[in-house]
Amino acid sequence: MSAKSSYEAKPWVKFYEAGVADTIDVPLKSVPQMFDEATDAYRDNTALIFYGRKISFAQLREQTDRLATALHDLGLRKGDKIALYLLNSPQFVISYFAALKIGCTVTPISPVYTSFEIKHQLENSDAKAIICQDILYDKVEKAGVKLQWAIVTSVGEYLPAVKKWLGQSFLGGLFGDAGLGAERKIAGALRFQDLMKKHPPAPPAVAIDPRTDVAVLPYTGGTTGNPKGVILTHYNLVAAVTSGGATFGYEPGKEVFVAFLPFFHIFGQASIMLAGLTQGQTLLLFTTPHTETILDAIERYQATVFFGVPTLYEYLKDHKDTNKVNWKRVKYLICGADTLHESTVRDWQKRTQSSIIEGYGLTETCAASHLNPPKRPKGGSFGVPLPNIVAAVVDPDGTAFLPVGEVGELVLKAPSVMQGYWKSPEENRVAFLEVDGERWLRTGDLVRMDEEGYFHYYDRRKDLIKHRGHSVFAKDIEDVLYKHEQIKSAGVIGVPDPAEGSVIKAIVVLHPEARGKVTEDEIRAYCAERLAPYKVPKLIEFRGELPKTDVGKVSRRELREEVKEARTR
């Protein structure tokens, strides 16, 4: 069997749940069409629970249609870009579906972006309007981008009346009283609620071609240079929801999803917001990741589906209130966005008697492409391809497919794969691989596939460290460091060196009680017992914290940039 034939055979399919096929028809529908069908079918069910405030599907539909009418009345038309600079809130959900309903494209902006990053995304995306939390608007003004329309809204507009009195303690003190309903008068900006009151729920009918019309233009984290816009059509998003929905045994209209992962990011947007609402599920919606509030709500509302990232599970496994939740009752505990360390899995199971299901995905694939089969997970693997997705491993420096067991670059083909990067012809040339007339997405991730079709992550291609002629995976060293009982977190990078190619450096965060007690030599000695000599870090740096990405990953890119900047001073 040739290397390519081993992937065409799809060995992973035999581990799918009973009744799940490897190929599933993707409905030729737009995202708002799926939303409307769900709001019709489940109109009396609760769509959102926002800090105790319940919003039914019928109410959510009416609010969405009012805003869609208002946006169209302002002159926004099919193909126009609308930026959403919003925290998780009913306003994000309403704005998202309202914009799509009139054929516009949504470009969500991270709430932690600086004015410089906001300026790049607004200008690069050609955004004509922005819908923004009023407490974030200062950064939009500083960006200095001329927009046709700015619409502002307050977090408190959809809070229950009693919650508006709770001040800083209610949202963890993150935004202060200004974020909890205080009306900020912003010159030149329209008020979200004014538009809702003024316009009826009667948006115009807009023809949308799911295959070609762009629904969402999210921006990647910018691993090199500025972030890039990812072109996702309605068909891409519907395909992702279809694949994910087939994998889980969700009961339509019966599940309660915990929704605190940010909706601006594709993980929260596709796997939680879209997958949940288009199937009539209830979203427990949180603006900030305030642990006690979330844990209390999980138990109070009997949540059945919980999405998290590795750093969250690592934090919760030791949290004093974690036992407030009966985790065995939650049907699915799903983890993505970064590598889940074995120690986290082990300690979580010991604490909660429940299991975490690890998956893998990209913005470029509308979130998940792989997931461990819920009834047959494999430790150390991020799972198998979802239905409609074919995965293979190729030579990172060429186009040859590699046989089972060899490490190479993960490539994917699926109806959920992006159309390309916005205004980036050179990036698109590099991102796609064509073999025998088939178009594959290069992920930039180094993996291997085992004999059963499970995939195992090694590293980002750009994070591979070349040391004295050896190829060293940063993750291999990090995995060892995370097993040290005094190490809380770690990041490993290569520091350029003319004699050795790169010198391996580990940046380590110790648990509070170990700080000042564990030495660099002790860390090296610990690694030397568990790693080949060429993998042992030469440089060790202790810190109080590490830079993180928007979804909680240790940002090796920022660590490398810090080294580069220090060398140029």
| HEC secondary structure over 316-334 | HCCCCCHHHCCHHHCCEEE
Pinpoint the residues of the chain covered by CATH 2.30.38.10: 3-23+388-459
Cα 159 from Cα 167, distance rounded (Å): 12
The pair of three-digit structure tokens given for residue 56, joined into one six-digit string:
């039914």
Q: Looking at the domain covering 464-568, what would its CATH class be?
A: alpha beta
The strand order across the sheet containing 230-233 reads 190-191, 149-153, 127-133, 81-85, 105-108, 214-216, 230-233, 420-421
Instruction: Give residue 476's pLDDT.
Output: 84
3-state secondary structure of 497: strand
Task: Give me the pLDDT at residue 463, please.
Answer: 79
Q: With contact defined as beta carbons under 8 Å apart, do 326 and 353 qualify? A: no
CATH code of the domain occupying 3-23+388-459: 2.30.38.10
pLDDT at 166: 44
- C-alpha closest to that of 268 among 93, 455, 56: 93
Cα–Cα separations (whole angstroms), residue 398 to 446, 498, 566: 14, 27, 34
Q: Class assignment of domain 31-308?
A: alpha beta
Predicted local confidence at residue 387, as pLDDT: 96
Residue-by-residue DSSP string for 227-275: --BEEEEHHHHHHHHHHHHHHS---TTT-EEEE-S-TTSHIIIIIIIIH
Phi, psi torsion values for 420, nearest 5 degrees: 150, -175
Q: Where in the chain is the domain with CATH 3.30.300.30?
A: 464-568
- Residue 531 near residue 476 (C-beta atoms within 8 A): yes
Neighbours of 14 (CB within 10 A): 12
Query: What pLDDT, on a 0 to 100 scale, did the predictor assign at position 338?
Result: 76
| Residues 450, 455: Cα–Cα separation, whole Å | 6
The predicted pLDDT at position 187 comes to: 67
Residues of the chain with CATH 3.40.50.12780: 31-308
Residues in the chain, pLDDT under 50: 165-182, 222-224
Local structure of residue 66 (DSSP, 8 states): H
Measure the N-to-C terminal CA separation of the chain; round to a whole number of Å. Answer: 55
pTM for the model: 0.85
What is the rounded distance in angstroms from the CA atom of residue 392 to the CA atom of residue 445? 12
